[in-house]
Amino acid sequence: MVNPTHRDTQSLTSSGIPRPAGPRPEVRTFAKSYRLSQSLPMPATPKQQFPGRPGDWVLYKDNQLIAFNKPAGLAVVPDKKGSPNLLQIGAAYAHHDLYPIHRLDRPVSGVVLFGKKASAQAKVSEQFQERTISKTYLAIVGERPKEDEATLVHFIREAKGNSSEVVDSSDKTAKRAELSYRYLGSSDRYHLLEIQLLTGRKHQIRAQLGAIGSPLRGDEKYGFKRGNTDKTIDLHAFTLAFDHPISGSRVELQAPLPDEPVWQAFSEIIAQLPAGA
Q: For residue 172, is it within any domain?
A: yes
Distance of CA 173 to the CA centre of its chain: 25
- Distance in angstroms (rounded) separating the CA atoms of residues 103 and 100: 7
Q: pTM score, two decimals? A: 0.83
Q: What is the pLDDT of residues 100-146, one digit of tens each?
A: 999 999 999 999 999 999 999 999 999 998 989 999 999 999 999 99
Q: For residue 194, is it within any domain?
A: yes
Residue 78 CB neighbours (<10 A): 20
Phi first, then psi: give them for residue 31, nearest 5 degrees: -95, -15
Q: For residue 277, is it within any domain?
A: no
In angstroms, the Cα distances linking 213 to 75, 102, 152 are: 27, 28, 13
Domain total in the chain: 1
Q: What is the pLDDT of residues 22-77, one digit of tens each?
A: 444 343 444 455 565 454 555 555 555 788 899 999 999 999 999 999 999 999 99
Q: For residue 3, is it within any domain?
A: no
Exactly one of 8, 56, 105, 168 is catalytic; name it. 105
- Least reliable range by pLDDT among 33-42, 77-86, 227-236: 33-42
Is residue 62 annotated as part of the catalytic site, yes or no?
A: no
CATH number for 49: 3.30.2350.10
Q: For residue 1, is it within any domain?
A: no
Q: For residue 166, is it within any domain?
A: yes
What range does the domain containing 75 cover? Answer: 9-271
Confidence of residue 170 (pLDDT cuts 50, 70, 90): confident
Residues in contact with 259: Cβ distance below 8 Å, sequence separation at least 6, in sequence order: 51
Q: For residue 187, is it within any domain?
A: yes
Residue 213 CB neighbours (<10 A): 13
Instruction: Give the mean model confidence (pLDDT) for residues 4-30.
Output: 38
Q: For residue 276, is it within any domain?
A: no
Query: Dihedral of the CA atoms 27, 61, 233, 231 (nearest 10)?
Result: -120
